[in-house]
């Protein structure tokens, strides 16, 4: 089993080695990289027989089992299906990129990123633990961010990348919260165990929040309305990336998650309604916008949105037939969309534009590629004999089988498909057939490396369409069964006999052809309508929101980070003392319980000295008086120490106080007079803060007098002063013997301070250039 893990590690190492390989091996490098991916495809395909018998593989490395956190891999029909798409498409994309990216100086970086992307996506679909899945999920977001913004010198690319990142990562975070809640409910995050606890989760009171959080992740990733707008923006990426991102990775991650969790969370009314409505809206919107674009890549991007909507809708309908339809349509879409994006890149490269109004008749210069494109487009239109036809028929069937709202969905589905037919026909007839049309130089015949990917994919679309039974048995049925084990095996064939579904298909095609014939007339009107009437752009709204948020944080920061030292202190003082006051009020010390000593006359006098000196020091205008009264405070405290038997402390304090006074006098001589900076209002405010702090300190002292928690540590020192340290002055013995090392530290501090003082006083700076 750990073979899967070994392959993942190999893929990751390959990603890191790719830049070196590209510069050393030159032309052969992309082929070698493609081989690595293709070998993964072959290796995974080896599991197909084993998996199709209903087996699963599970491999776990314990990480933090107490938090349900493990690194696990899980292989069943569904993950195998996705893993094959990821590696197979990856191989083709890598080979394609080899030629496509040749002129770019940064191609080393590109190959590293796209392999990292492939690794992340493969690891995501193979993850057997939701947290592992989340980590790779975020890794796909990050690597796609770097890929979308690959042409980082273009501001649109940077903006699109940032948008894609922010949206998918925000959704990812919500999803993680959902996963954690799911783990708390089920007591596990292992997928193979979650699959068994579906009922427990569906009946839990927290089901709805969990569902919403996880759907937020899936919908943002899979570009569902209203998060769809990042996907058209993401076409700023190099075309091979678009091919990969739209067909097998990234946007399919959300679909994968929905399919994966469908047995765990699906089947409830909430699930059905949310998925059906979101999917249907996304499907129609995507179709509409696809019809009214003039940029080939943009057309494709919006059809992807539409297709993703269809997939979500199918999962939302949640019947046997709709799940079958979803899996087949997933394959259909991956095949044609991968091919078409590669062809879009190829056209862009050889004709220098993707604007559908400027190019046409490319079949004459690139016959193979055009044939591949036409086959893929027919599959997109859902016409026989492509596999797309089978997919579309099943989707119609799923909608027919619905009781009440089915008809509405059927209408929506037919409408979308009519658009797809029209777009496909328009692209076929304008872009590939008909008279040759191009701006600038005559398009060249594309290189073999560019043609092989689309040709293969188109070929598969055709072959699967003609002989669907084998692939259904080997790959599709196991994938469907891991979503719903009770489902009967998939029987696929091109010909269903005459029935209502076929009739609807006929209507669709007929309407599609009509719409296609109107294309030239309708399209400019729609483009105009889109540009002038629908002024609201989701992407712009998002940017505006982002700007507002940044503005807000800037304001907030400049409010909190005022840059004035006083305000920082004020914040600290106020917050600390308010918290302390809160605590003090709740545990107000019982003053009666404290044993008071009666103050004698000397103590009273000393206290009066301290208090009056303090008041003078604070309020007096003369510097000298302030310093002297501070001395008064110090000496007063020293006298208190004398009275309460702390002779050594008193001596030290007096000495230190005297020295400080002398130093102060020397320095103050060089300083200006006190100036009054503050207004009376700010004095009053500061006094209030000061009293707040002072009051809580008073409370603290009273509180401290009440507590006597531990036995006196001092007893040890008192008892051992003479036997161990041979001295009778205990305070001295503590300082120079028991805690001598501390005293050494203290002396060090003094020495450092002394050096600092000398350095500061001796340091000469030129006047004016001082900093």
Partner 1 sequence: MEVLLAIVIGLLYAAGVYLLLRRSIVKLILGIMFFSHATNLLIFVAGGLHKGQPQFASDGLTAVSANPTDPLPQALILTAIVIGFGITAFFLALMYRFYQATGTEDLDELKEGENK
Residue 277 is a binding residue for partner 1 (CB under 8 A) = no
| DSSP-assigned beta bridge partners for residue 64 | 69
Between 493 and 619, whose beta carbon lies closer to partner 1? Answer: 619
Residue 73 is a binding residue for partner 1 (CB under 8 A) = no
Take residue 184 and report the two structure tokens written for it: 């708390």
* Angle made by CA atoms 731, 736, 741, in degrees to the nearest 5: 120
Residue that is written with structure tokens 């191009």 in the block:
438
* Nearest distance, CB of residue 588 and partner 1, angstroms: 13
The stretch among 152-160, 219-227, 254-262, 758-766 that binds partner 1 (CB under 8 A) is 758-766
Take residue 725 and report the two structure tokens written for it: 């340290």
Nearest to 541 by CA among 752, 150, 230, 121: 230
* Nearest distance, CB of residue 550 and partner 1, angstroms: 21
* Nearest distance, CB of residue 555 and partner 1, angstroms: 17
* Nearest distance, CB of residue 575 and partner 1, angstroms: 13
* Nearest distance, CB of residue 89 and partner 1, angstroms: 55
The stretch among 267-275, 312-320, 358-366, 615-623 that binds partner 1 (CB under 8 A) is 615-623
* CA within 13 Å, CB half, 130: 31
* Nearest distance, CB of residue 666 and partner 1, angstroms: 8
Residue 628 is a binding residue for partner 1 (CB under 8 A) = no
Give burial (CB, 10 Å; 0-12/13-18/19+) of 539. middle
Given a contact cutoff of 8 angstroms between Cβ atoms, the answer to whether 60 and 190 are in contact is yes
Between 518 and 690, whose beta carbon lies closer to partner 1? Answer: 690
For 131-179, the three-class secondary structure string (H helix, E strand, C coil) is HHHHHHHHHHHHHHHHHHCCCCCCHHHHHHHHHHHHHHHHHHHHHHHHH
Residue 645 is a binding residue for partner 1 (CB under 8 A) = yes
Q: What one-character DSSP code corresponds to residue 63?
A: E
The stretch among 296-304, 342-350, 438-446, 630-638 that binds partner 1 (CB under 8 A) is 630-638
Nearest to 161 by CA among 149, 153, 151: 149
Residue 336 is a binding residue for partner 1 (CB under 8 A) = no
**CA 120, 125, 128, 134: dihedral to nearest 10 degrees?**
50
The stretch among 32-40, 49-57, 79-87, 754-762 that binds partner 1 (CB under 8 A) is 754-762
Residue 125 is a binding residue for partner 1 (CB under 8 A) = no
Under rule CB under 8 A, how many of the chain's residues touch partner 1? 106
Radius of gyration of the chain (CA): 38
Q: What one-character DSSP code corresponds to residue 479?
A: H
The stretch among 123-131, 159-167, 194-202, 761-769 that binds partner 1 (CB under 8 A) is 761-769
Take residue 685 and report the two structure tokens written for it: 């405010």
Between 407 and 729, whose beta carbon lies closer to partner 1? Answer: 729
Nearest to 631 by CA among 613, 647, 607, 649: 613
Of 65, 439, 485, 694, the one binding partner 1 (CB under 8 A) is 694
Between 585 and 760, whose beta carbon lies closer to partner 1? Answer: 760
Given a contact cutoff of 8 angstroms between Cβ atoms, the answer to whether 191 and 127 are in contact is yes
Between 527 and 720, whose beta carbon lies closer to partner 1? Answer: 720
Between 435 and 711, whose beta carbon lies closer to partner 1? Answer: 711
Nearest to 147 by CA among 234, 249, 34, 29: 234
Residue 533 is a binding residue for partner 1 (CB under 8 A) = no
Between 550 and 704, whose beta carbon lies closer to partner 1? Answer: 704
| DSSP-assigned beta bridge partners for residue 295 | 355
* Nearest distance, CB of residue 710 and partner 1, angstroms: 12
What DSSP element (H or E) covers 69?
strand 69-75
Q: What one-character DSSP code corresponds to residue 187?
A: S
Between 531 and 576, whose beta carbon lies closer to partner 1? Answer: 576
Residues numbered 660-689 forming contacts with partner 1, rule: CB under 8 A: 660, 663-664, 667-668, 670-672, 674-675, 677-678, 686-687, 689
Residue that is written with structure tokens 């969990």 in the block:
210
* Nearest distance, CB of residue 547 and partner 1, angstroms: 24
The stretch among 1-9, 236-244, 578-586, 655-663 that binds partner 1 (CB under 8 A) is 655-663
* Nearest distance, CB of residue 533 and partner 1, angstroms: 47
The stretch among 322-330, 398-406, 499-507, 599-607 that binds partner 1 (CB under 8 A) is 599-607
Of 554, 621, 648, 744, the one binding partner 1 (CB under 8 A) is 648
- Residue 209, classed as helix, strand or coil, is helix
Q: How far apart are CA 675 and CA 580, in angstroms?
A: 34
Residues numbered 727-746 forming contacts with partner 1, rule: CB under 8 A: 727-731, 733-735, 739, 742-743, 746
Residue 754 is a binding residue for partner 1 (CB under 8 A) = yes
Between 442 and 712, whose beta carbon lies closer to partner 1? Answer: 712
Residues numbered 561-580 forming contacts with partner 1, rule: CB under 8 A: 562-566, 569-570, 573
The alpha carbon of residue 454 and the mean position of all alpha carbons in its chain are separated, in whole angstroms, by: 32
DSSP 288-303: HHHHT--BHHHHHHHH
The stretch among 199-207, 351-359, 579-587, 610-618 that binds partner 1 (CB under 8 A) is 610-618
120 Cβ contact partners less than 8 Å away, ≥ 6 residues apart: 136, 139, 140, 143
Between 102 and 566, whose beta carbon lies closer to partner 1? Answer: 566
Residue 120 is a binding residue for partner 1 (CB under 8 A) = no
Query: Cis ω on the peptide bond leading into residue 226 (within 30° of 0)?
Result: yes
Of 48, 86, 718, 741, the one binding partner 1 (CB under 8 A) is 718
- Residue 585, classed as helix, strand or coil, is helix
Of 6, 466, 659, 744, the one binding partner 1 (CB under 8 A) is 659
Between 9 and 691, whose beta carbon lies closer to partner 1? Answer: 691
**CA 231, 237, 241, 243: dihedral to nearest 10 degrees?**
60
Site string for partner 1, 697-716 (x = CB under 8 A): xxxxxx-xx------xxxx-
Between 535 and 675, whose beta carbon lies closer to partner 1? Answer: 675
Of 42, 603, 625, 628, the one binding partner 1 (CB under 8 A) is 603
- Other Cβ atoms less than 10 A from the Cβ of 334: the count is 24
The stretch among 422-430, 458-466, 500-508, 590-598 that binds partner 1 (CB under 8 A) is 590-598
Q: How far apart are CA 314 and CA 276, in angstroms?
A: 7
């Amino acid at each position: 089993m750990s073979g899967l893990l070994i392959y993942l590690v190999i893929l990751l190492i390959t990603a890191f080695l790719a830049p070196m390989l590209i510069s050393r091996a030159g032309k052969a490098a992309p082929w070698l990289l493609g081989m690595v991916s293709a070998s993964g495809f072959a290796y995974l395909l080896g599991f197909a027989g084993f998996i199709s018998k209903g087996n699963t593989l599970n491999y776990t490395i314990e990480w933090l089992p107490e938090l349900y956190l493990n690194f696990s891999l899980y292989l069943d029909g569904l993950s195998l299906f996705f893993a094959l798409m990821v590696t197979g498409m990856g191989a083709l994309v890598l080979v394609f990129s080899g030629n496509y990216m040749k002129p770019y100086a940064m191609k080393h970086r590109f190959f590293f990123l796209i392999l990292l992307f492939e690794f992340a996506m493969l690891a995501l679909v193979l993850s057997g633990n939701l947290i592992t899945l989340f980590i790779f999920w975020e890794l796909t977001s990050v690597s796609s961010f770097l890929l979308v913004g690959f042409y980082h010198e273009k501001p649109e690319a940077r903006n699109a990348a940032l948008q894609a990142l922010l949206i998918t990562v925000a959704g990812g975070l919500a999803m993680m919260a959902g996963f954690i809640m799911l783990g708390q409910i089920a007591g596990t995050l292992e997928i193979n165990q979650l699959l068994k606890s579906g009922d427990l989760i569906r009946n839990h009171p927290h089901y709805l929040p969990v569902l919403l959080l996880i759907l937020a992740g899936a919908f943002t990733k899979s570009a569902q309305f209203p998060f769809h707008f990042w996907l058209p923006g993401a076409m700023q990426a190099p075309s091979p990336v678009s091919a990969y991102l739209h067909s097998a990775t990234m946007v399919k991650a959300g679909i994968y998650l929905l399919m994966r969790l469908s047995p765990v969370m699906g089947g409830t009314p909430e699930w059905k309604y949310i998925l059906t409505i979101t999917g249907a809206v996304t499907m129609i919107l995507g179709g509409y916008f696809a019809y009214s674009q003039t940029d080939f890549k943009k057309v494709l991007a919006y059809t992807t949105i539409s297709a993703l909507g269809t997939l979500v809708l199918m999962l939302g309908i949640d019947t046997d037939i709709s799940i079958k339809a979803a899996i087949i349509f997933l394959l259909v879409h991956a095949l044609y969309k991968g091919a078409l994006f590669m062809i879009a890149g190829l056209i862009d490269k050889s004709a220098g534009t993707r604007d559908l109004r400027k190019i046409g008749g490319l079949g004459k210069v690139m016959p193979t590629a055009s044939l591949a494109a036409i086959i893929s487009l027919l599959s997109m239109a859902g016409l026989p004999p492509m596999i797309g036809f089978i997919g579309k028929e099943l989707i119609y069937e799923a909608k027919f089988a619905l009781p009440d709202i089915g008809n509405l969905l059927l209408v929506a589905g037919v409408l979308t498909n009519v658009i797809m037919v029209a777009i496909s026909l328009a692209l076929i007839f304008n872009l590939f057939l008909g008279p040759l049309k191009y701006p600038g130089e005559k398009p060249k015949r594309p290189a073999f490396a560019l043609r092989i990917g689309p040709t293969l994919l188109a070929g598969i679309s055709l072959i699967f369409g003609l002989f669907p039974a084998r692939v259904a048995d080997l790959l599709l049925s196991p994938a469907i069964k891991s979503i719903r084990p009770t489902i009967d095996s998939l029987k696929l064939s091109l010909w269903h006999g005459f029935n209502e579904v076929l009739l609807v298909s006929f209507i669709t095609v007929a309407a599609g052809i009509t719409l296609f014939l109107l294309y030239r007339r309708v399209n400019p009107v729609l483009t105009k309508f889109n540009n002038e009437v629908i002024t609201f752009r989701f992407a712009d709204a998002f940017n505006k929101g982002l700007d507002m948020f940044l503005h807000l944080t800037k304001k907030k920061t400049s409010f909190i980070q005022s840059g004035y030292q006083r305000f920082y202190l004020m914040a600290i003082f106020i917050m600390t003392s308010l918290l302390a006051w809160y605590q003090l009020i709740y545990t107000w010390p019982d003053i009666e319980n404290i044993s008071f000593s009666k103050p004698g006359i000397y103590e009273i006098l000393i206290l009066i000295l301290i208090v009056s000196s303090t008041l003078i020091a604070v309020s007096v205008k003369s510097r000298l008086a302030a310093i002297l009264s501070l001395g008064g405070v110090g000496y007063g405290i020293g006298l208190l120490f004398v009275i309460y038997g702390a002779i050594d402390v008193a001596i030290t304090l007096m000495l230190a106080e005297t020295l400080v006074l002398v130093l102060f006098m020397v320095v103050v001589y060089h300083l200006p007079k006190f100036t009054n900076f503050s207004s009376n209002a700010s004095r009053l405010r500061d006094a209030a803060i000061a009293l707040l702090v002072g009051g809580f300190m008073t409370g603290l002292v009273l509180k401290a007098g009440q507590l006597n928690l531990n036995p006196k540590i001092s007893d040890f020192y008192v008892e051992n002063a003479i036997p161990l340290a041979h001295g009778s002055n205990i305070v001295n013995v503590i300082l120079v013997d028991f805690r001598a090392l501390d005293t050494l530290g203290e002396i060090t501090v003094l020495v450092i301070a002394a050096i600092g003082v000398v350095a500061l006083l001796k340091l000469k700076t030129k006047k004016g250039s001082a900093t």
